[in-house]
Each structure stands twice: as structure tokens, then as C-alpha cells.
Amino acid sequence: MSFLARLLTSRWGPIVTGAIVGVLAPVLVRMGNPGNMGLCVACFSRDIAGALGLHRAASVQYLRPEIVGLVLGALAAAVVFREFKPRTGSAPLVRFLLGMFAVVGALVFLGCPWRAYLRLGGGDWNSLFGILGLALGTGLGIVFLRRGFSLGRNRLATPALGWMMPGLMVVLLALLYAAPFGRDAAGAPTGPIFFSVTGPGSQHAALWLSLGAGLLVGFLAQRSRFCTVGALRDLMLMRDTHLFNGVVALTVAALATNLVLGQFQAGFEDQPIAHTNALWNVAGMVLSGLAFTLAGGCPGRQLILSGEGDGDAAVFALGMIVGTAFVHNFSVASSPTGPGAFGPAAVVTGLIACSLIGLVMREPPAAEGARGCGGRGTGMDASGSDEREENGGRTRALVPPTGS
């Protein structure tokens, strides 16, 4: 265990994590998950929202066990390595809104940052426009960080709060096992939990395989601080490639695995669950990149932090789930034919809203001494011993300052 701890907190940690994600995701596709969607936090949050009846897009409804696994795997790692630190209190409403806007952009592009790189590893050249947008959005977020943007400090909280998000994941797993509770005469599910019978929601690997993959990735990502948005931020802000090496490893491993499995299909046309509108592929991920940077990490990283007991990250993750319902209820989500009817308007609205958040949110004067930037995406050193967590490019103490 000590060797694993040293490996994952060394410069090899993000590389190992990225490579394993790059292998597992195509394998999950081979075992039943949608094409180029072995692991996609935005898409899987959308499926969970549909399964809970928050939207009624019948083709994308399934309680994805990969999401459950990511949170519980991170919880296991945090408990084993004594990094489970319940904390909360940093601009929860803003984080919720950022989570909503992040998935607006992601579902206009049709994928989170993880899926953008997995699509590239599968030969989908449309992903290049999404990755470009992600980089531009991250760069815009850095501009706000340099101008003093901060969501403030959080504080240590009662242990019960830290168990809330893992507890919700256990409930989802129980519902997945018991659902759908009822079917009509034609055999279609009647709820309260809904499963797709056609479309991407009906395509999934076996429960145990999906859950196991999520648990493994969650465990590794918690230790290595793996974050695709943090990788771009650190590369641009400090020329630090520590996290970015993990992104490269993910893409290369996905490419190699897809080639071995015969799943590599190069080109722009006829890619699984993707569209060819370059403008809105770029613009959608500009919005996502900006929202994720302001919130302090990519969607996978937010789930990992929620497993560590971070209530702020849990609020962001819940914002993503609610946001995906909004996206489908209001015809915002894209389809293989292109952006939804209100997708472009929603992206523009989100860019304006997130830019305003970036301009007006500042660290309170009493907390100015807490400024800094975590070189490895979390404000922790390689050993993970520093009791600090990154918040939108600022390092915030988990222990309240003296006199607070």
C-alpha cells in the first residue's frame, strides 16, 4: 500500500490514472456503453437525471454506476489515506450555477472534458474543436483568476456532512438494483425510476463492471489529483506539465485500446453521439472550460472531491445533474444532427453569466492572506499532507483562520 501511495502521489500518478481511464473507457464501450462514451461525467449525469424523472428524454435514462463508483472510490481512498475532511461554506449557490452552466456547454458539445479526449482517442476529429474550446475557456478562466477571482474559503464541517454525497450514491445504487418498480402492459417502465429501452441510455456494460471501473478510477484519481481542466490551467498558468501528462496518457491509451479492440474510426462524419458543427463544438466547450476553471476542477475532479467530504464540490455535482435536466427540458442539448433549438442561445447566456461571476466574485479583504495557487491542481504537495484545497485558483485553508 505504501508503494501505491508513493507512486500515485509522484509525477507518475496522473500518468497511471490517465492510462487506466484510457484503457477502461474503450473496454466499457466494448462491453455495452455508448460509442466513445466509456466514461463521461456530463453524459452520465444526464442519464441519472433522466432515470430520476427530472427530464423525460426517453433515450437517455439510466442510473449510471460509474458515477456512483467515482464518488465511493474516492471515499475509500480518502478514508484509507486519512484525507477524508468534511468541509463546506464557499459560495454554494454560485457553485450550483456553475455546475449547471458547465453541463450546458458540455451537452452542446456532447461530452465532458474526459469524453473529449476519449473521442479523440477513438478517431472522432470533431473532438479537436471541443478541446480547442476547452483550452480557450480555461484560458478565459485564468484571466479572471489573475484579476482576483475567488469563491472564498470553506471551513471544516461536521463529519455527517462529508457522508452526504457518498450516502446519496449508495441510494442511487440501491435504486438501480431495485428499479424500475413497475412496468405497463407493454413492458415499458412506469417509474418512479426510468430506464431507456432504446438509445444511449439503453446501452450500458454490466453493473458490476461499470461500478468496478468507477471505483478503481475514483480511488486512483483521488490519490493522483487527476484533473483534465486543472491540467490545462497549470500548463497555461505555470508551465507545469504534472497533470497534463495524465491527459496525454489518457488519450494515447484510449487510442491504443481502441485500435486493439477494432473500435478506432477516424473522421468527422458518422461518429457515435457527436455532431460536426465546429462553431458550437468550440463555443460549448469554451463555456464548460470557463465554468470548470472558476469552480476549481473538471467534473470528474468535482466528484472525487465530493467523495473526500467536500460539500462545495457536491453542490457543483448536483448542479450538473439539475443542469442536464434543464438542458433536455428546454431543447438545449445537441444531437448527431447538430445543436438543439435553444443550444446556441443557452451557450451565449452561460458565457455572459459566467463572465459576470468571474468579474464580481472576490476574496473578502480579511481572507486576502490566503492567496496562492496549487501547482498540482489541488494545492496539496506530492505527499498529500498539506491540509489545503484549491478553490478557483486560490488556496484556501481548511481550518478557519485565527479569530474567525
Q: How confident is the model over 201-231, as pLDDT tens digits?
A: 999 999 999 999 999 999 999 999 999 999 9
What pLDDT, on the 0 to 100 scale, is given for residue 391?
41
Q: 10 Å Cβ neighbour count for 23?
A: 18
Mean pLDDT of the region 326-341: 96
What pLDDT, on the 0 to 100 scale, is given for residue 153?
85
pLDDT band at residue 185 using 50, 70 and 90 as cut-offs: low
> What is the full DSSP assignment across 352-379?
HHHHHHHHH-B--GGGGGG----TTSSS
What pLDDT, on the 0 to 100 scale, is given for residue 189?
62
- Whether the bond into 180 is cis, omega within 30 of 0: yes
What pLDDT, on the 0 to 100 scale, is given for residue 124?
98
Query: Which amino acid is it at 268?
Result: F
The mean-pLDDT minimum among 46-60, 83-97, 126-140, 379-393 falls in 379-393
What pLDDT, on the 0 to 100 scale, is given for residue 362?
84
Mean pLDDT of the region 96-108: 98
**Secondary structure (3-state) at 155:** strand
The mean-pLDDT minimum among 15-19, 135-139, 380-384 falls in 380-384
pLDDT digits (tens, 9 = 90+) for 232-243: 999 999 999 999
Q: Are 19 and 393 in contact (CB under 8 A)?
A: no
Q: What is the mean pLDDT of the chain?
A: 89
Query: What gap in Å lies between CA 271 and CA 336, rounded to an integer?
Result: 8
pLDDT band at residue 178 using 50, 70 and 90 as cut-offs: confident
Q: In this prediction, what percent of the chain has a pLDDT beyond 70?
A: 87
Q: Are 307 and 166 in contact (CB under 8 A)?
A: yes
Higher pLDDT, 89 or 169: 169
Q: Judge whether residue 131 has pLDDT over 80.
A: yes
Q: Are 98 and 354 in contact (CB under 8 A)?
A: yes
Closest by CA to 30, choosing from 252, 299, 210, 217, is 210
Place of cell 473496454: 27
Place of cell 498558468: 237
pLDDT digits (tens, 9 = 90+) for 342-385: 999 999 999 999 999 999 998 766 544 444 333 333 333 333 33
What pLDDT, on the 0 to 100 scale, is given for residue 366?
55
Could you tell me the pTM of the whole model?
0.89
Mean pLDDT of the region 293-315: 96
Q: 10 Å Cβ neighbour count for 379?
A: 23
